[in-house]
Amino acid sequence: MVQLQLQLQLPSLFLASFFSAPAASFSAGPRRRLHRRPTSSSAAAAEMDAANPSTAMYPLHRCKTIYLVRHAQGIHNVEGEKDHSAYMSPAYFDAHLTPLGWKQVDCLHEHVKNCGLAEKVELVITSPLLRTMQTAVGVFGGGDCIDGVGSPLMVKNAGHSDRPAISSLNRPPFLAVEACREHLGVHPCDKRRSITEYRTLFPAIDFSLIENDEDVLWEPNVREANASVAARGMKFIDWLWTREEKEIAIVSHSGFLYHTLSMYSKESHPTIREEVGKHFANCELRSIVLVDTRSVLCPYVSMACFAFLMQWLVSMLQCAWVKSPQLQLSWKDSS
Ligand SMILES: *[C@@H]1O[C@H](CO)[C@@H](O)[C@H](O)[C@H]1NC(C)=O
């Protein structure tokens, strides 16, 4: 099981949201606690702090940072936000970004460049739909292409973008992964094109993990349920541990991000739940810390099991050695 921490922009507002920890452990921030603590009963306070620590510690090598991004405004969002039934329109099949969407992409591109995130990200994972791939290459891609240098992340004017080609020069690998797609089915905007078609538009994106050229996951009459999206999201997050990269950008969709984060924050303090429980705006970025609790807990679990087994074995042996002479004795006594 993976745990998530929400990292706010200001370090002083850092909040832990370990969902397996009791909610009581979040009752007071460390600073307020310092002011509150009476000096006369410092021993009692220390005891209380030990029982209810407000900080969780994990070795850094068991953590990853993920940068979750929802795609920028797509043509389907404009009408769909006014009237939800617009999402049913075939005109929005595999919706591409609007001019405003590209402006949002440019803003986030500048932001990730200026704050150093662009250099930190080692891998960009994107849902294989036009709007997410346009957002991914626009935000985390290089500048304009220089002729003959590497294959571009996006060719000129891909998906009505009215943009020059985007370079892959000095950029991390871009990987398309179906597991982070939006709710599957029914809405044409959530249906993808063939991988063959995408490869010509996004030559430097790696599509090798996608099994089917055509979109076999999208069904016209069945909309994927919230719980199923959340389960898929948790599986996807667990899959991230198979990757070596520590800093991973993930460009996905509103429903996918919302239901996945909501599932992880279910047991968290209400403050965290409220923060996580907001839908992402178009092109919003949230930084999240993942903690691999399997590798933290498993050795202890198996050691506990081992200790229990040894105890059981010893008691069985004791039974064999101690009880049988007693039985013999009592048998002798009664004779
Ligand atoms: C699924 O989640 C959305 C929020 O994204 C909510 O509006 C909707 O009612 C949920 N559907 C069901 C069937 O619970």
Task: Find the domain containing 167 and state its range.
Answer: 60-294
Q: What is the CATH number of the domain that holds 231?
A: 3.40.50.1240
226 lines ligand 1 (CB under 6 A): yes
Q: How far apart are the first and last CA of the chain?
A: 61
Is 228 part of any domain? yes
Active site residue 182: yes
pTM for the whole structure: 0.76
Residue 307 is predicted with a pLDDT of 57
Pairing, β 205-206 against β 285-292? unpaired
Is 329 part of any domain? no
Residue 48 is predicted with a pLDDT of 60
Is 215 part of any domain? yes
Residue 65 is predicted with a pLDDT of 97
- Geometric angle at alpha carbon 75, from 72 and 79, rounded to 5°: 115
Is 48 part of any domain? no
Is 137 part of any domain? yes
Looking at the CA of residue 258, tell me the nearest atom of ligand 1: 5
CA 324 to chain centre: 58
Is 14 part of any domain? no
Residue 13 is predicted with a pLDDT of 23
Closest CA to 176 of 195, 163, 148, 157: 195
Which tens digits make up the pLDDT trace of 138-164? 999 997 777 767 799 999 999 999 999
Which tens digits make up the pLDDT trace of 191-221? 999 999 999 999 999 999 999 999 999 999 9
Q: How many domains does the structure of the chain reveal?
A: 1
Q: Which of these is catalytic: 178, 182, 224, 245?
A: 182
Which tens digits make up the pLDDT trace of 92-127? 999 999 999 999 999 999 999 999 999 999 999 999
Closest CA to 136 of 105, 181, 160: 105
Q: Ligand 1 centre from 230 Cα, in Å? A: 12
Q: Ligand 1 centre from 226 Cα, in Å? A: 6
Looking at the CA of residue 259, tell me the nearest atom of ligand 1: 5
Residues of the chain under the 70 pLDDT cut = 1-49, 148, 295-335
Helix or strand or coil: residue 85? helix
Is 76 part of any domain? yes
Q: Ligand 1 centre from 23 Cα, in Å? A: 26
Looking at the CA of residue 226, tell me the nearest atom of ligand 1: 1
Residue 53 is predicted with a pLDDT of 76
